[in-house]
């Protein structure tokens, strides 16, 4: 790699277009159309099953099962959603899921960031062992752990408690989160931190002002991951939480499938409702990813 300047030169997004002006305007438009068409195709292919879920949520019974598929719910109805929301314990389960998820996301981000810093920035005895251990922990199949975990938590009186579920989820989420954050921290050129410290900042100050914003996108990606893991997990929540007042939304969702026929419309409505908070969370934090893109411009 060439010897690039340490202090970043501000390059605003607009200059990028100046460079591209060499290509003809027509070629650029065609390229733009092509790219957008490709993106649309990818979008349709990826989102179709989700579209199927959401559109089924709005369909009436006869439209759901048809020898000819009903592509668009012309006779849209909200009855399925009403059915789902009015099921017992819905709001209680939403609250439980939210508590679990918020706790898991926040605690895992903090703990993982600290651990990732240690792994990325320091050399110490036991580092390699810890790394291997962290990776190995993720290789243990969850199903094999159900009974041993239950026995352990039962002895600690953490069964049928949200806190028991929270700490269990942390063990699933932490290894990956530590890994990914370490990767992001390593990816930040060390020179930037050193440059800040030349200006007299303490190590902590350099961390907060320089490193944290740059690792921002990594924090966002891992927080979405932690959110989804905690929000959608089923078997641990079902086995560990007995009282209906403590159960999470995924357990509630599973109750739509009974041994006496599945209520497809309400199930799809319930699934749509269950997926919404993640999308909302993403919309809230997605600005941070975009921020990372233009960070180069602002830094100077």
Partner 1 sequence: MAAVESELAVSSRRRPRWSRHRIARGVAPYALLAPATIAIGAVLAYPLYLLVRLSFERYGLFELIRHKGVWIGAANYTRILHDGQFWHVVLRTLAFTAVNVSLTMVLGTAIALLLVQLNSFMRMLLTAGLVFVWATPVVVAVDIWRWMVDSEFGVANWTLTKLHFGNFTHHDWFVNPWSGFAVITALVVWGAIPFVTITVFAGLSQVPDELLEAARIDGARPFAVFREITLPLLKPIFVILASLSIIWDFQVFNQVWIMLDQRPSSDYFLMSIYSFFESFRISEYGLGSAIAVVMVLIMLVVTSFYVRQMVKAGEVR
Partner 2 sequence: MKARVIAAVLLAAVLAAAATTASGSVAKHNATTVTVWLQDDAKNGWADAVAAATRSFQAKHPGVNVDVQYQQWTTHLTKFDAALAGNNAPDVIELGNSETAKYMAAGAFAPIKAKAYPNSSKWLAGLKSSCTYNGKLLCVPYYAGARAVIYRMDYYRQAGIRSTPRSLNQFVADGKKLMKKFGKDGNFSAFYYPGKNWYATMGFVYDYGGQIAVKKNGKWKGALTSPQAIKGLTAAKSVMKALSRAPRTTDEAHPYPSIPFAKGKVASFVGNGWEWPYTLDPKVGNPGLANVMNAYPMPSHVKGRYMPTFLGGSDLAIPATSGNKTLAADWIAAYTSTANEKKMSDAGNIPNASNLAALAAGNPKVSPFARAAKYNWFVPISPNWSNVESGNVLQEMCQAIFTGRKSVRAAATSASNTITRILNTGS
CB of 265 to partner 2, least distance (A): 5
- Nearest to residue 218, comparing CAs of 102, 113, 132? 113
Q: How far is the CB of 292 from partner 2 (least distance, A)?
A: 17
Q: Is 298 in the site for partner 1 (CB under 8 A)?
A: no
Residue 137 interacts with, from partner 2, partner 1, none (CB under 5-8 Å by kind): partner 1
- Choose the contact partner of 154 out of partner 2, partner 1, none; CB within 5 to 8 A by kind: partner 2
CB of 136 to partner 1, least distance (A): 6
Burial profile 240-249: b = 16 or more Cβ within 10 angstroms, e = fewer: bbeeeebbbb
| Contacting partner 1 within 28-67 (CB under 8 A) | 35-36, 38-40, 42-43, 46-47, 49-50, 52-53, 65-67
- Widest CA span of the chain, in angstroms? 72
Q: Is 126 helix (H, G, I), strand (E, B) or coil?
A: coil
Q: Is 102 in the site for partner 1 (CB under 8 A)?
A: no
Give CA–CA dist 280/275, Å, rounded: 9
Smallest distance, partner 2 to C-beta of residue 234, A: 8
- Residue 136 makes contact with partner 1 by CB under 8 A: yes
Minimum CB distance to partner 2, residue 128 (Å): 30
Residue 116 Cβ, how far from partner 2 at the closest point, in Å? 15
Under rule CB under 8 A, residue 244 binds partner 1: no
Residues that bind partner 2 in the complex, under the rule CB under 8 A: 60-62, 64-67, 79-80, 83, 99, 102-103, 106-107, 110, 146-147, 150-151, 153-155, 157, 159-163, 166, 208, 212, 235, 238-239, 242-244, 246, 254-255, 257-261, 263-266
Q: Does 74 bind partner 1 (CB under 8 A)?
A: no
Q: Classify burial at 184, counting beta carbons within 10 Å of its beta carbon; exposed 0-12, middle 13-18, buried 19 or more.
A: buried
Joined together, the tokens standing for residue 1 give 């790699």
Of the ranges 82-90, 94-102, 239-247, 267-275, which one interacts with partner 1 (CB under 8 A)?
A: 267-275
Residue-by-residue DSSP string for 149-202: HHHHHHHTT-TT-HHHHHHHHHHHHHHHHHHHHHHHHHHS-HHHHHHHHHTT--
Residue 218 lies near partner 1 (rule: CB under 8 A): yes
Among 101, 162, 170, 226, binds partner 1 (CB under 8 A): 170
Contact between 201 and partner 1 per CB under 8 A: no
Rounded distance between C-alpha atoms, residue 97 and residue 80, angstroms: 22
When asked if residue 204 is in the footprint of partner 1 (CB under 8 A), the reply is: no
> Which residue number, 94 or 99, has a Cβ lying nearer to partner 2?
99
Among candidates 58, 53, 52, which has minimal Cα distance to 74? 58
Which CB sits closer to partner 2, 130 or 291? 291
Rounded CA-CA distance 249/228 in Å is: 12
SS3 of 23, please? Answer: coil
Q: Toward partner 2, which CB reaches closer, 39 or 151?
A: 151
Q: Smallest gap, in angstroms, from Cβ of residue 155 to partner 2?
A: 8
202, 204, 206, 211 alpha-carbon torsion, rounded to 10°: 170
To the nearest 10 degrees (0 to 180), the angle between helices 264-285 and 25-57 is 140
Which one, of 84, 63, 75, 56, lies nearest residue 273 by Cα? Answer: 84
């Amino acid at each position: 790699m060439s010897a690039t300047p340490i202090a970043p030169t501000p390059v605003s997004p607009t200059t990028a277009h100046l460079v591209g002006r060499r290509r003809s305007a027509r070629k650029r438009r065609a390229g733009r159309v092509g790219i957008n068409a490709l993106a649309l195709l990818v979008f349709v292919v990826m989102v179709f099953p989700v579209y199927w879920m959401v559109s089924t949520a709005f369909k009436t019974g006869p439209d759901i099962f048809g020898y000819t598929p009903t592509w668009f719910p012309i006779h849209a109805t909200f009855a399925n959603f009403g059915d789902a929301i009015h099921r017992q314990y819905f709001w209680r389960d939403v609250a439980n899921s939210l508590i679990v998820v918020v706790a898991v996301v926040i605690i895992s981000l903090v703990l993982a960031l600290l651990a990732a810093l240690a792994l990325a920035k320091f050399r110490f005895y036991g580092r390699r062992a810890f790394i291997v251990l962290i990776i190995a922990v993720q290789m243990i199949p969850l199903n094999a752990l159900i009974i041993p975990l239950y026995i352990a938590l039962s002895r600690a009186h953490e069964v049928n408690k949200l806190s028991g579920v929270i700490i269990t989820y942390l063990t699933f989420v932490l290894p990956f989160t530590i890994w990914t954050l370490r990767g992001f921290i390593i990816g930040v050129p060390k020179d930037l931190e050193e440059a800040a410290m030349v200006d007299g900042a303490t190590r902590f100050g350099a961390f907060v002002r320089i490193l944290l914003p740059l690792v921002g996108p990594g924090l966002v990606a891992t927080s979405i991951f932690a959110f989804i893991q905690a929000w959608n997990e089923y078997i641990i929540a079902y086995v560990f939480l007995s009282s209906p007042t403590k159960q999470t939304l995924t357990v509630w969702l599973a109750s739509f499938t009974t041994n006496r026929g599945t209520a497809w419309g309400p199930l799809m409505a319930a699934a749509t409702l269950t997926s919404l908070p993640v999308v909302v969370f993403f919309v809230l934090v997605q600005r941070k990813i975009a921020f990372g893109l233009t960070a180069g411009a602002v830094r100077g």
